[in-house]
Homo-oligomer: A and B are copies of this chain.
Amino acid sequence: MVGNIFIRGFTLVSCQRRKNLFKFKKYGTILTASLTLFSARSTMDTKNFMAPPITPVEKLEKNSDDMKTKMELMIMKVQHEVCRALENEDTTKFKIDRWERKEGGGGISCVLQNGKVFEKAGVNISVVEGTLPPSAVAQMRSRGKRLEEGTLPFFAAGISAVIHPVNPMVPTIHFNYRYFEVQSGNEIQWWFGGGTDLTPYYLNTADCIHFHNTLKQACDKHDLSYYPKFKKWCDDYFHVVHRGERRGIGGIFFDDLDKPDQEKCFKFVTDCANAVLPSYIPLVQRHKIANYTKVEREWQLLRRGRYVEFNLIYDRGTKFGLHTPGARYESILMSLPLYAKWEYMHEPSEESPEGTLLEVLRNPREWADLPAPNELN
């Protein structure tokens, strides 16, 4: 039983800005605890987290210059900001699960389900360490990492989110930013990866331009070659190969980033993560109360079926996750929509709004080259 491999840490059943007052549910017992539990003794600003960090605060404070610490604190902060911003658009609140992993580390899964605006929104962080199996090491070696063969100690910290809105006029967004360390002999190899991409159900040019431009601005601050390179990487990655379609209208995607130096990479990834809300929230606000028909809802469900196809057949993260012993499948599969549909031989006419979207999914566009629309600026 995969599920039993986990030691579930505890579940916060209520976490709604009540002046640091949290309620914890641990194996059926309700405990009431204050955030001072993990912040009073510290100078570290942990108040605005969804749950206590995975790494003990004392250890974080002691190693405040370590990239592992910086990354954990950054993703905790982004998780909180994203969850609060989404809650501000909805009437439902996030449920929070803080879990621990027998093999080392753990995570915090925040899920909002059956909201008025968001049908299913999951914002996960995980901070894990342990031993990479030889197959994973071999896969990394094939990507050019200088690693010994066999099993190797590793550390990984990342944030990952998928937001599926109710209204078919509001696109789905996914983002993921992660930091990886692998120890080989006395040397530690490290790298960053991540990306943000948008999956609309109906094409809105102004949305696409705004979304891509926001990501481009975050990239351009660091390196003018980043956006074009990572935009193409994103189009290539989110490819539902058997259908010859992209999952959505793309965004940015990158992996194995270890140049020019660790600090600069971290700043870049931080800026990308901070660009998520400005790239997306205006789209939510603009369309969340749009009228839509049953036909448009059914089309959204069909496209969500394609989303499931990509995630379960092609997505490296999902595959890696599900095949890792001790993986928390509920957090991995949180990316799947609440509802999806598969209809045999559904072929919208080319002239229809559905056909217009398909055309763009088959032939990705350079959105950032288009003139910025007035509506969103």
The interface-forming segment of A221-229, A270-278, A341-349 is A341-349
Contact (Cβ within 8 A) B243 A3: yes
Q: Which stretch (A32-40, A188-196, A210-218, A307-315) binds chain B?
A: A307-315
Chain B nearest Cβ from A363, distance in angstroms: 10
Q: How many residues of A contact B (CB 8 A)?
A: 40
Q: CB distance B243 to A2 under 8 Å? A: yes
Whether B97 contacts A345 by the Cβ 8 Å rule is yes
Within 8 A of B (CB), among A329-349: 329-330, 332-334, 336-345
Chain B residues in 8 Å Cβ range of A3? 243-244
**Is B1 in contact with A344, judged by CB distance below 8 angstroms?**
no
Q: Bits for A341-373, please: 1 = Cβ < 8 Å to B, else 0.
A: 111110000000000000000100000000000
Q: Are A341 and B342 interface neighbours, CB within 8 A?
A: no
Oligomer copy total: 2
Q: Provide the bound-state CA to CA distance between A322 and B244, in Å.
A: 12
Q: Is the CB of A344 within 8 A of B2?
A: no
Which residues of chain B come closer than 8 Å to A4, judged between CB atoms?
A: 244
Query: For window 291-340 of chain A, which residues contact chain B by CB distance below 8 Å?
Result: 301, 305, 308-309, 312-313, 319, 322, 327, 329-330, 332-334, 336-340
Chain B residues with CB below 8 A from A339, complex form: 301, 339-341
Q: Of B1, B309, B337, which one neighbours A312 at CB under 8 angstroms?
A: B309
List residues of chain B with CB within 8 A of the CB of A340. Answer: 305, 308, 339-342
Is A140 in contact with chain B by the CB < 8 A criterion?
no
| Complex: A241 Cα to B329 Cα, angstroms | 10
In the complex, which residue of chain B has the Cβ closest to the Cβ of A337?
B342
Complex contacts, A341 vs chain B, CB 8 Å: 338-340
If A241-B2, A244-B2, A327-B242 touch, whether A308 touches B313 (CB-CB below 8 Å) is no
Indicate which residue in B113, B122, B242, B308 contacts A2 across the interface (CB closer than 8 Å).
Answer: B242
A190 to chain B, nearest CB (A): 29
CB pairs A–B below 8 angstroms (24 shown): A1-B244, A2-B241, A2-B242, A2-B243, A3-B243, A3-B244, A95-B344, A111-B345, A113-B344, A120-B342, A120-B344, A122-B344, A241-B322, A242-B327, A242-B329, A301-B339, A305-B340, A308-B312, A312-B312, A313-B322, A330-B344, A338-B343, A339-B340, A339-B341
Given contacts A2-B242, A97-B345, A113-B343, 9 further A-B contacts (CB under 8 A): A111-B345, A113-B344, A241-B322, A242-B329, A305-B336, A309-B312, A312-B312, A312-B313, A340-B341
Q: A residues bordering B, Cβ < 8 Å?
A: 1-4, 95, 97, 109, 111, 113, 120, 122, 241-244, 301, 305, 308-309, 312-313, 319, 322, 327, 329-330, 332-334, 336-345, 362
